[in-house]
A and B are shown apart, each in its own frame.
Chain A
Amino acid sequence: MYKHSVELDVMKCTGCTTCLRHCPTEAIRIRDGRAVINEDRCIDCGECIRVCPNNAKKAMCSKFEHYQDYKWKIALPAPSLYGQFDNLEDVDTVLQGLLDIGFDDVFEVAKAAEYVTEYTRLYLKTEGIKKPVISSACPVVVRLISLRYPYLRDNLMPILPPLEIAAKMARKKAKEEHPELNDEDIGLFFISPCPGKVSYIRNGFGDYKSEIDVVVSLKDIYFKLIGVMKKDNSPDIASETGMIGVGWASSGGESSAILNDDYLAADGIENVNKVLDAIENGNIPQLEFVELNACTGGCVGGVMTIENPFIARTRLHSVRRYLPVSVNRLPKDMHFIPDDILSYELPEYTPVTRLSKSFSESMRMMAQIQDIRATLPGIDCGACGSPTCKAFAEDIVRGQADISLCRVMNCSPKGETENDS
């Protein structure tokens, strides 16, 4: 069973239908006045958390203070963290802050991202791969493709995401520098901007299990950091990331770094869906690489960040200004991608919207859905608890709703029928 990371506070949920109407996979229903998430359909994009007017939806994260037993705690900050602070002149200040709040070391995910960039350039030169290559860095996009675009699975880049490579490198570094540490002494803490990455870490990737031990919310860490970060202190720790690594935090950063003009970068879940539809239909220009981010603006738009994604992006521009282009390079004679950072495993394709395992039964149900749909008012008000009249008709046929729930028809006996499929 897939473990999700979006959680509902039933006390706060008023059943207002806002999340119902915004869910891109129609995974939410309102039942008995509360939102209910269909776990098979949910892709952990966090859209419902973003839109909930009552703050009833939360991403499940761990609290840093509950995991103090690790002898050696390493912070793995997502690059989006650097875009949260006003007037930040130097990334080092943030890294020092992480040490000051109790981490023993810091390993920047942005550093690993620069390696992924290098590997991507190598991978794009591989003969016989399916183009366009689609970035596998956003776990929401990977899950969306595995659930809804099975034909595009082979386009996904089979390289582990930066956070996973950062985890491997951080553990290795800790053991080299501190040979007295055992594996279980080392705690790898990912500072996450979004619930998508939380779910990815909890579930792994096909058979692959994540190397991260604890996921903490960027928001939580932010509030701890602003208490300790001081400009005038000279940090003992120096960032090991260039412009490229920091650039991964916002949409277009990953793809522009491949140094090839034939790329596309789309962000926001609706746009991602449109681009995937276009690729599937063969209706896009010849492209080498496609970067897709479920959140508007890229990772800086994650629901566990503080700052508006556009402001964060602008801040990152000034943080990046005096950085070298890239600090982490592969050796020049390296022409292959090592096995331990490749990931061939993808979640199994599951036809989650299939009506029935039997084709004839599905046909019969679909006919019924069309009939019921034709009698519904067609205003998609959501009052019945389903996102659209069409979804409501389907819920009725699936036995998950009753037609008496339609408030509109029950008010006016002469419900206008509308004809569309």
Chain B
Amino acid sequence: MSESLTFHFDVDGEDFTSAGQASVQVKKNLRRLGISPEIIRQVSIAMYEGEINMVIHAGGGTADVIVSEDKIEIILADKGPGIADVNLAMQEGYSTATDQVRSLGFGAGMGLPNMKRYTDEMIIDSVVGEGTTIRMVVNL
């Protein structure tokens, strides 16, 4: 069999209304692979939160979902402002989202904590002024 399978998505930072679509697409693809509903839910929530973050904070980016025999890896990369204090950002309820974004119901400060909660592994690699790459793993 092939070693791994990659689904690549460009997350459009200009169009807020389309945020969350990659997550739906990933869900469909994982169903085709016969992945269990619980795992699919974990991956799609982590993806969804990540996508929203990239749109709100970083003007978009890319999302790669790599499926292999024993795990699903999600790599979200953007060239946004970076996260100044990762520990602070990981706190539930902490958010730097603008009032405008909050008025849309986002920016509750649950994005990163949820991503961590629904994945088995999460590494944030962020440089202020250069961008952020988040690698998450859900074990199969």
Contact = CB atoms under 8 A, between A and B. Distances in A.
A421 interface: yes
A148 B32 CA distance: 11
A151 B48 contact: no
A282 interface: yes
A280 B2 contact: no
Contacts of B132: none
B69 interface: yes
Nearest to B110: A282
Judged by DSSP, the binding face of A is: helix
A364 B33 contact: no
A341 B44 CA distance: 35
A285 B25 CA distance: 23
Interface string B43-68: 01100100000000000000000010
B37 A349 contact: yes
Interface string B13-36: 000000010011101110111100
Between A285, A357, A360, A363, the greatest number of chain B beta carbons within 10 A of the residue's beta carbon is seen for A363
B37 A357 contact: no
A253 interface: no
A353 interface: yes
Contact of B1 (A280, A281, A361, A421): A361
A356 B114 CA distance: 31
B41 interface: yes
A2 to B, nearest CB: 19
B38 interface: yes
A182 to B, nearest CB: 46
A282 B69 contact: no
A366 B27 CA distance: 14
B7 to A, nearest CB: 5
Contacts of B94: none
A330 B29 CA distance: 47
A359 B33 contact: yes
Contact of B9 (A281, A364, A421): A421
A194 B70 CA distance: 45
Interface in A364-382: 364, 366-367, 370
Nearest to B25: A421
Contacts of B34: 351, 354-357, 359, 362
A351 B40 CA distance: 12
Interface string A161-191: 0000000000000000000000000000000
21 contacts: A148-B31, A151-B41, A281-B45, A281-B48, A285-B105, A354-B32, A355-B32, A355-B33, A355-B34, A356-B34, A359-B33, A359-B34, A360-B1, A360-B69, A362-B33, A362-B34, A363-B67, A366-B5, A366-B33, A421-B9, A421-B29
Interface of B: 1-2, 4-5, 7-9, 20, 23-25, 27-29, 31-34, 37-38, 41, 44-45, 48, 67, 69, 105, 114
